[in-house]
Amino acid sequence: MTQGDFNNETGSRPPIVDPLLPPEMALKAERIGAEKVRLDTLSLLTLAVLAGAFVGFGALFSTVVVTGAEGLPFGVERLLAGLVFSLGLILVVIGGAELFTGNNLMVMAAAASEIKWGEMLRAWGIVYLGNLIGAAGTAGMVFLGGQYLLAGGGVGETALVIAEAKVNLSFVRAFFLGILCNVLVCLAIWLSYSAHTVSGKILCIVPPITAFVAAGFEHSIANMYFFAIALMIRGGESDGFWEAISGTPHDYASVDIAGAVMNLLPVTLGNMVGGGVLVGGVYWFVYLRRR
């Protein structure tokens, strides 16, 4: 039955629920931020581990889809990568999990004095750690399952190429790509606050997430997965992998722990600026500062 159909039992129409408007969305963001920081440490960490795993699934899905897609036009390949990567944030929002980049919107609650800045930073630290555990743990299971051997090792080679491109970004480029990424991620979450249905939330999430992936922006939690799986492939037992792709671990020598850290640092800082300042800060200034 659609919203315009009559209820057969009562003869009345079901209520039509309008989406929330931005001022109401701002109040909802403020309330949600306050609720998040008041979760106990173990619950917050567990939900953060789930979010890291969910984003890892999106990154895995995207890696598989772009493998062997070299014959497609560049834009089409990137569009497909972004569409399937959206799975990660859909699982986070609909399934209920705590993602560091989305939690940058807690700035709205802190600026509105609903929570203390120290409480916010504590929550961010716990969630970042949990996201790392979830993303790396997912990568570990993917590696142990030999998923990287699919397509004659093509999936593993794609994972290595992705990680290599990320470690070769300069600090400045990674920082600004991180800003742009989390503007879109936090806008996706912000838009989802307006929706009352699962389908509405999904429709709010997919376009911004597709856009950030297609544009090549940098997401710190997704990068945790990409680096973890690449490091495992490069340093683990090959099972004929290197022979299959006609390569050696030396070909990806730049993919190491130091390179991963030097990417995650500017990307994380950029994500904080993009989500916390350019989205959360701006919407607080417009809708909440007078309160």
Of the pLDDT bands very low, low, confident and very high (cuts 50, 70, 90), residue 5 is: very low
Q: Give CA–CA dist 54/98, Å, rounded.
A: 10
pTM of the model: 0.92
Beta carbons of 190 and 286 less than 8 angstroms apart: no
Average pLDDT, the chain: 94
Averaged pLDDT, 11-21: 70
105-139 in b/e burial notation, b at 16+ Cβ within 10 A?
bbbbbbbbebbeeebbeebbebbbebbbbbbbbbb
Residue 1 banded pLDDT, cuts 50, 70, 90: very low
Q: Reply yes or no on whether the pLDDT at 227 is more than 80.
A: yes
* Predicted local confidence at residue 10, as pLDDT: 54
Domains of the chain: 22-287 (1.20.1080.10)
Which helix (H) or strand (E) segment is 34 a member of? helix 22-37
Q: Higher model confidence: residue 221 or residue 19?
A: 221
For residue range 69-113, list pLDDT tens digits in order. 888 999 999 999 999 999 999 999 999 999 999 999 999 999 999
pLDDT at 14: 55
Query: Encoding tokens for residue 145?
Result: 């399952």
Cβ neighbors of 16 (< 8 A, separation 6 or more) are: 3
Give the integer Cα–Cα distance in Å for 101 and 58: 15
Q: What is the pLDDT of residues 35-62, one digit of tens each?
A: 999 999 999 999 999 999 999 999 999 9
275 neighbors 124 (Cβ within 8 angstroms): no
Q: Read off the tokens for 227.
A: 């680096």
